[in-house]
Amino acid sequence: MQPNSAPWIKTKAVYEEDDQTKPPDDDNLDSLLQGMVSKKTIPPLTTDSVVEQAVNNHSNTEVVLCRGSSLAWINLVAAKGSAGGEPDVKTSVATSEAAKQQVGKGARLPEFAAAGGNISWSWRRGLVIVSINSRYLTRGSRSENGWVALPTAPLAVLAAIDRTVGFEELALPNAS
């Protein structure tokens, strides 16, 4: 399955031992992302403080965030050009109560991470890098630099990264 608006990029497994019959503990995501940013293939992730300032000032600023999720969800987002639903430029922001439920229980609304946020949810799954307007965002998990959007929030997929490293995709609840 290939997303419509961004090509899939596959990470490579990094093995700490010579035993390549077991799934690896890591991949080359960090160096891959650094290379993509230095070659200007994608812009760097926006820092949490810049996103927060844009949201608080209602400045309608495009920010670059990421989200670890299933490959199927990433394909859906790329095909729709939204955070999962039918895109609507008139979409409001999620309420603070809805964002709190997302942070507390997860799997309720799409939550994206700013630079320095938790991308561990993408291991053996997918990582999507998006550009989204700050007017669609509400603070999510502060410890993960998280930002919640409603599914109808329009966005652009800048990169879709397959981190399964050749193994079956992990079926995890998506809490972030």
The per-residue pLDDT for 132 is 98
* Residue-by-residue pLDDT tens, the chain, 176 positions: 334 455 688 888 887 666 666 667 788 888 899 999 999 889 999 999 999 999 999 999 999 999 999 999 999 999 999 999 999 999 999 888 777 777 666 667 999 999 987 777 788 899 999 999 999 999 998 988 999 999 999 999 999 999 998 888 888 765 44
Token digits of residue 21 = 């019959």
β-strands 111-113, 146-149 pairing: antiparallel
Question: Which residue type sits at 63?
Answer: V
Q: What is the pLDDT of residue 104?
A: 62
Collapse the DSSP code of 142 into the 3-class scheme (helix H, G, I; strand E, B; otherwise coil) and give the result.
Answer: helix
Q: Count CA within 13 A, CB hemisphere, residue 61.
A: 16
Q: How is the chain split into domains, by residue range?
A: 8-14+39-162
Q: What is the pLDDT of residue 18?
A: 64
